[in-house]
């Protein structure tokens, strides 16, 4: 695939993977992106996962023709992008590796060598001339590893963004970008909103026409849409007006309460209601919804004088990713000593800028007139 006249895509699609990073379900696989910049000197941008080394090297060779590369630029040291450094150097022994200082330290950890005889450290603001193309390097620490750099090519106005602006799915998957990019962002990068905002401030100073991430499609149209989403996500803002309900249920009574609340919210004009059964849904999807909407209701049973385990896992996932700036309501169910609402609140009180709804719905085993009235009151609060 041609990105520009001088930039060629040489990445691969992984349709065999079931869990990305051993955790995230990827029914449509993953793309591991790599690019070649052809100029007086040639730069290859990143490698791919180890399982696809042969395919990637063939792609690189096809792009190069009879020429040899001068540089291999490594933006991020996760093995899905760096695993084939050694194989590349074996094939192209005169190539120089360009990366941040911390990346070279990681190479030593991964491969037993930091390639001292062929390394060029990419400093903040440093440049590398390929001829017509001049590359400028910028540090992007903790987006989402400490060694990450991004690269700007001023000739073609292309920004190579490492994992930023990436998404799940192969490049030939026909799906909405935002859905899987959002799940990817909050699952993998979400904790580091401040660091993403720092990178965005650097990017705003550049004239960018094309974004080349390490996962997902090359972005070349309506870039403001993608940048604005990243601004909202990294600021933990509200992307979509509405309420998300996340629940666990043992015998169906808490589920009924969650579904009743969903109908009440809709009847009161709530523009969007998303409901997640935490025992059965993709947890990463539920996390995505929690950050997407401005309001959330958590409904669970008291379990071993605490809360149901899936709910505890869910709140822990939110807190780990800097959950903040939300309004939260609670529904608790307990047949003899309900404690779930108290325990959920204790976990969330560690998060910043959380507003708790005044109404706490208390169910004793099953909905009755009192708890149904409390659902009505909670619905009114959440749509106010």
Q: How far is the C-alpha of 151 from the C-alpha of 160, rounded, in Å? A: 5
Q: What is the pTM of this model?
A: 0.94
- The CA-CA-CA angle for residues 121, 123, 127, to 5°, reads 95
Helix (H) or strand (E) holding 242: strand 240-247
Place of tokens 């020429």: 67
Domains and CATH numbers, the chain: 7-234 (3.60.15.10), 241-383 (3.40.50.360)
How does pLDDT run across 128-157, given as a tens digit for each residue? 999 999 999 999 999 999 999 999 999 999
Instruction: Compute the average pLDDT of residues 118-122.
Output: 97
**pLDDT value of position 153:** 98
How does pLDDT run across 216-242, given as a tens digit for each residue? 999 999 999 999 999 999 999 999 999
How far lies 17's CA from each of 14, 20, 177, 258, in Å?
A: 6, 7, 19, 34
**pLDDT value of position 1:** 87
Q: Is the pLDDT at 337 greater than 90, yes or no?
A: no
Q: Is the pLDDT at 73 greater than 90, yes or no?
A: yes
Q: How far is the C-alpha of 275 from the C-alpha of 346, rounded, in Å? A: 23
How far lies 330's CA from each of 39, 244, 302, 369, in Å?
A: 60, 12, 12, 18
User: What's the pLDDT band for 257 if we cut at 50, 70, 90?
Assistant: very high
């Amino acid at each position: 695939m041609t990105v520009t006249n001088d930039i060629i895509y040489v990445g691969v699609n992984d349709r065999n993977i079931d869990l990305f990073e051993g955790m995230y379900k990827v029914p449509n696989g993953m793309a591991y992106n790599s690019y070649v910049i052809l100029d007086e000197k040639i730069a290859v941008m990143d490698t791919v996962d180890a399982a696809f080394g042969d395919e990637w090297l063939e792609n690189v060779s096809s792009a190069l023709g009879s020429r040899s590369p001068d540089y291999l630029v490594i933006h991020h040291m996760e093995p899905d992008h760096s695993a084939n450094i050694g194989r590349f150097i074996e094939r192209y022994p005169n190539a120089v590796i360009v990366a941040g200082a911390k990346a070279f330290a990681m190479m030593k950890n991964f491969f037993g060598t930091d390639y001292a005889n062929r390394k060029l450290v990419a400093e903040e603001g440093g440049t590398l001339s390929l001829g017509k193309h001049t590359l400028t390097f910028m540090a992007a620490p903790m987006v989402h590893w400490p060694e990450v750099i991004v690269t700007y090519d001023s000739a073609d106005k292309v920004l190579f963004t490492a994992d930023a602006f990436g998404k799940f799915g192969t490049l030939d998957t026909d799906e909405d970008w935002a859905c899987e990019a959002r799940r990817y962002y909050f699952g993998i990068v979400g904790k580091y909103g401040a660091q993403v905002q720092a990178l965005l401030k650097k990017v705003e100073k550049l004239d960018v026409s094309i974004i080349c991430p390490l996962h997902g499609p090359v972005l070349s149209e309506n870039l403001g849409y993608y940048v604005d989403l990243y601004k909202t996500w990294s600021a933990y803002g509200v992307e979509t007006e509405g309420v998300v309900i996340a629940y666990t249920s043992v015998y169906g009574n808490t589920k009924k309460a969650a579904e009743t609340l969903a109908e009440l919210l809709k009847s009161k004009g709530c523009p969007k209601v998303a409901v997640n059964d935490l025992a059965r849904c993709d947890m990463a999807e539920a996390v995505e919804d929690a950050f997407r909407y401005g309001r959330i209701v958590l409904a669970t049973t008291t379990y071993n004088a605490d809360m149901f385990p899936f709910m505890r896992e869910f709140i822990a996932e939110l807190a780990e990713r800097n959950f903040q700036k939300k309004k939260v309501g609670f529904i608790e169910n307990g047949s003899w000593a309900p404690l779930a609402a108290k325990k959920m609140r204790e976990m969330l009180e560690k998060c910043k800028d959380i507003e708790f709804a005044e109404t706490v719905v208390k169910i004793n085993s099953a909905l009755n007139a009192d708890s149904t009235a409390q659902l009505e009151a909670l619905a009114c609060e959440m749509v106010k």
